[in-house]
A = this chain, B = another copy of it.
Amino acid sequence: MSFLDAEFFQPLLAALATGEDNQIQIAASSFNAADLADFIEAHPDSGIRLLSALPTEQGGKVLGYIGPATQTLIAQQLPTRSLTELVTAMPSDERADFFQLLDERKQHSLFQSLASKEREDLRRLASFEEGTAGALMSSDYAMISTGVTASTAIDLLRKTAPDKETIYHAYVVGGNHTLLGAVSLRNLITATPSASVNDLIATGLVTATTDTPQEEVARLISRYDLLALPIVDHHNRLVGIVTYDDAMDAAEAEATEDMHKGATVGKLTGTLRDASPFSLYRSRVQWLVILVFANIFTGAGIAYFEGIIAEHIALLFFMPLLVASAGNAGAQSATLMVRGMATGDVTVTDWGRLLGKETLVATGLGLTMAAAVSVVGLLRAGPEIATVVAVTMIVVVMVGSLIGMLLPFLLDKLKFDPATASTPLITTIADVSGVLIYFSIATALLDIS
């Protein structure tokens, strides 16, 4: 099912054609916010018309789902007054992200027109570094004080909890906003109405601080199956929450970034479909050029052994498959490690145990590959060169695998992102070492005149 189907949006298109707000609102009410956002992205002109016809609350929600490129367009085209209303209705975390997109002049004028509560909130949320819990968190959550009854708490939730992600938990705070615990709506409705929330509090909450990295936030929410993770400052004062849906988005974005890094593609803004050719070029060119220069070493290695190559030109035939095997085995180990470290399945302290296992696995792989390649060697170049090729294969597969395994740990130790141990980098290292190992073994084993 394509959500951009003309048929799917038919009722909406028909209502827009009438030009009546009322008709548009009725048609829009049967669509999800995410689908309306898609529609607006695909048809920005009628989209802006749609957005200004929607009830403010729905409009704010839809605006939060729209991608950065179209959001920027909307900010340029809507009059400040309508924009202010929509922005006020946005979820607080989406609002902060939206604000970052605007140019300074627009930020200033919008900021002035917001109510002081939203202004304060924006200022606070905008102060956190991207990629941290602070930048991901929302200030839309319900809060109750100790001592109230269950029925008072339910009333309070009913009135103040702004949306579905937050109505199901109320955080209990003491003096100075210190987080004491949480009560769930589930416990509140099961309790007798006159019960004190003090008896219903769940303590020992899993929390994070504003500077916790977003991948760690996603990991905590996923590990403990939370609906929302409370975020506290360094004095254990509640400052916001991260909801599971934002954590899912963050986890997806992190996985995408790690995969891109694994192929030496730098950070992209927006999706592949929306990215401009220049931003794609910029995200790719840097490592490509670095690796060209790294590969000069491989060329130099070959040039160094020109003598033996000229004498045994048959050796050249086996060079690609030997260095490629080293690179492929290395890419496998590096990818296993990098992903294991990203998901938290593997920690730096495991390296010793994993080194033993990797050595075993790599030996097995090397022997299998040597057997396969020695048949080719015998058929094509006789027993002498077959021996050189088989021995080289065992060594290069082991060297490639161990480099692939150890480099991510080393990078992590040196405070680099382990994902920098990308497949192209491993392949390049494997190329250089493969050439050197191959021709060194050949020099040692072959009868050189």
Contacts and interface: CB of A to CB of B under 8 A. Distances in A.
Interface stretch (A18-26, A126-134, A250-258): A250-258
Interface residues of A, number: 112
Contacts of A324: 291-292, 295, 298, 424, 427-428, 431
Nearest to A313: B306
A105 interface: no
A343 to B, nearest CB: 6
Interface centre among A227, A263, A280, A319 (most CB of B within 10 A): A263
A327 B316 CA distance: 19
A335 interface: yes
A416 interface: no
B335 A265 contact: yes
A288 B329 contact: yes
B325 A272 contact: no
Given A32-B206, A255-B255, A350-B273, A336 B368 contact: no
A265 B204 contact: no
Contacts of A32: 206, 224
Contacts of A287: 328
A317 B303 contact: yes
B252 A331 contact: no
Interface string A1-15: 010000000000000
Contact of A296 (B184, B262, B350, B376): B376
A378 interface: no
A372 B289 contact: yes
Contacts of A289: 368-369, 372
A248 B244 contact: yes
Given A288-B328, A299-B321, A354-B273, A158 B190 contact: yes
Interface in A170-218: 184-186, 189-190, 204, 206
Interface in A294-317: 295-296, 298-300, 302-303, 306, 309-310, 313-314, 316-317
A319 B302 contact: yes
Contacts of A263: 262, 331-332, 334-336, 423
Contacts of A339: 256, 259-260, 272
Contacts of A292: 321, 324-325, 369, 372-373
A355 interface: no
Given A345-B272, A357-B277, A336 B265 contact: yes
A384 interface: no
B280 A295 contact: no
Nearest to A366: B288
A411 interface: no
A167 B248 CA distance: 21
Given A32-B224, A260-B335, A284-B365, A273 B164 contact: no
A346 interface: yes
Given A256-B343, A299-B318, A272 B337 contact: yes
A141 interface: no
Nearest to A297: B320
Contact of A364 (B277, B346, B373): B277
A382 interface: no
A271 interface: yes
A234 interface: no
19 contacts: A32-B206, A167-B186, A227-B227, A244-B248, A248-B248, A256-B339, A258-B259, A260-B336, A263-B334, A277-B361, A280-B361, A288-B329, A288-B369, A298-B321, A299-B316, A299-B319, A303-B316, A303-B317, A324-B428
Nearest 8 Cβ contacts at the A-B interface: A295-B321, A263-B335, A298-B320, A271-B345, A299-B317, A255-B255, A225-B245, A272-B340
Given A263-B334, A288-B368, A289-B369, 10 more contacts: A157-B189, A165-B225, A244-B244, A255-B259, A258-B259, A271-B343, A281-B361, A285-B368, A296-B321, A302-B317
